[in-house]
Amino acid sequence: MGKKTEELMKQAERLLLCATAIGLILAGVGCSRSGLTRAQAKELIQKSFPPEECFFKVTGTTVEGMWREGLLAPLPYSTRLDLTPKGTQLFRAVGGGIDILDTADGGYVRLRSLERLVTEVTGITEQSPTAREVRFAWRYNWDAAPDEMKRLAAEFPKSTPHYGIRGLDRSPGCNGSIAAEGVAILKLYDDGWRVEEARSR
């Protein structure tokens, strides 16, 4: 074998090694993009999971708590109670304002818009090579709320289902310690995974 032929063979081997290395790198990139971890799914769902209304039933405990925190006061010349300026301000800041709802089984308070926190991804099911169904747990988020609201939220009961009010039958209550379930559909695009839908179960 001539010296020139031997040199050409060495160059061919180097080119083959380079091509193999590049192929492995590209394959790794493709796998990391097409794979979906629970941590990635949790982050993506949280970004696309909007605030939602929530309900809590008016009970002696909740009224007592709102009174204690200075959120309720009696109306002048009346036996009825109403929100104080402090109560109105705090409920608006945390829950986007409130509405009082009278039903056959008692009164409810609706917080119009309360942030939801994804706490855990509990499972991922492959629907197709480019689609995943993700089950996750979430709760209403009181972490950044003022201390008065945190103490009050800890006393909120789980809402009794009442099918006369839209949404109340599926509300886990406004208590931040009550976990609820959600499901999301994620699809793979050329730039990675995107959330197509995320909702409460």
From first to last of its 201 residues, what are the pLDDT tens digits of the chain? Answer: 566 666 656 665 665 554 444 444 444 444 445 689 999 999 999 999 989 888 777 778 888 888 889 988 888 877 777 889 998 898 888 888 888 776 666 677 888 888 999 999 999 999 999 999 999 999 888 888 888 888 888 877 655 444 445 555 555 567 777 788 999 999 999 999 999 999 887
Residues spanned by the domain of 43: 38-200
- The answer to whether residue 20 is domain-embedded is no
CB 105 within 8 A of CB 162: yes
- The answer to whether residue 31 is domain-embedded is no
- The answer to whether residue 1 is domain-embedded is no
CB 96 within 8 A of CB 113: yes
Tokens 């972490």, located at residue: 143
CB 134 within 8 A of CB 45: yes
- The answer to whether residue 105 is domain-embedded is yes
3-state DSSP assignment of residue 96: coil
- The answer to whether residue 84 is domain-embedded is yes
- The answer to whether residue 185 is domain-embedded is yes
Chain-centroid distance, C-alpha 91: 20
- The answer to whether residue 169 is domain-embedded is yes
- Domain count along the chain: 1
Show Cβ contacts of residue 125 under 8 Å, excluding neighbours closer than 6 positions: 132, 133, 134, 135
